[in-house]
Structure 1
Amino acid sequence: MAAMKTVIMAALATALAAAAAGQQQNDSCSSTAGAGRQFQNWKMKAEQAKKVEFIRTAEKLKTQIANIEKDKNGHLYNKKSDFRVEYSILEELEHSMTDSRKTEKAKILQQLSKIQNNVKRLQQQLKDVKPTPAFVDKLKEMMEEVENAINAFKEEQRQIYEQLLKEEKTAINELSVFERKVELWALGSSTTEKVLKLPSARVLVGKTLENHLPEEVVEFERFLQQTGGWQGGWDDYDHQNFLKVWTKHKGRLSYVDEALECLCGRTKEDIEQHDKWYQEFLILHKRKKESIKKWKEKQQEEKKRNLKEKEKSEKMLKEEWLQREAAQKQKAEEERKRQQAAIEAWKKQKAIAFAMEQASQLKLEDEKEKKQQKERQRQCHMKLLLEKYTFQKKEKEELEKLEKEKREEAEKEERKRIAAEKIPKFQERDLHKLELRIVQKQAKEAEKQEKEKRLAKLREKVEIRVTRDRSRLYRPTKGWEERMKEIAPTASEPLLRVPHRAIPAWRQGL
Structure 2
Amino acid sequence: MIILSVICASTSLDQMIIIDYFLAGFYLIFSVSCVISHARAQMSVTDFLREADRLRKLEIKHERETSRRFHARKHFSVLEEIHVNDELGADIMKVQEELQKIRNCVYSFQAQLTDVKPSPDLIDRIKDTMTDIENSIKMFKDKQHQRFEELLKEEKIFWQEIGAFEQKIDVWSLPVKADGGVPRSAGICADVKDSRNLPTEVMALETFLQQSGGLHGCWDKYDHQNFMKVWTKHNGKPSYRKEAKLYLPDKTVEDIRLHEEWYLELCHLQEEKREAIHKWRAGKQREHELQREQREKEALRKEPDEAAADLRLKQEEQRREASEQLETWRSCRKQQLEREQEQRVRHQIQRRKRAKEERRRQLELKLMVESRVQQKKKEEELHVLQKEAQLQAEREERRRLAAEDIKRFQQRDSHRLEIKLQEKQNKEQEEHERQRNLDKLKEKVQIHIARDPTRLWKATKGWEEHIKEIGPSGGGPVSHMFHRAVPTWRQDL
TM interval, shorter chain, is: under 0.3
Question: Could you tell me the TM-score, scaled by structure 1's length?
Answer: 0.26
Give the structure with higher Rg (CA).
1
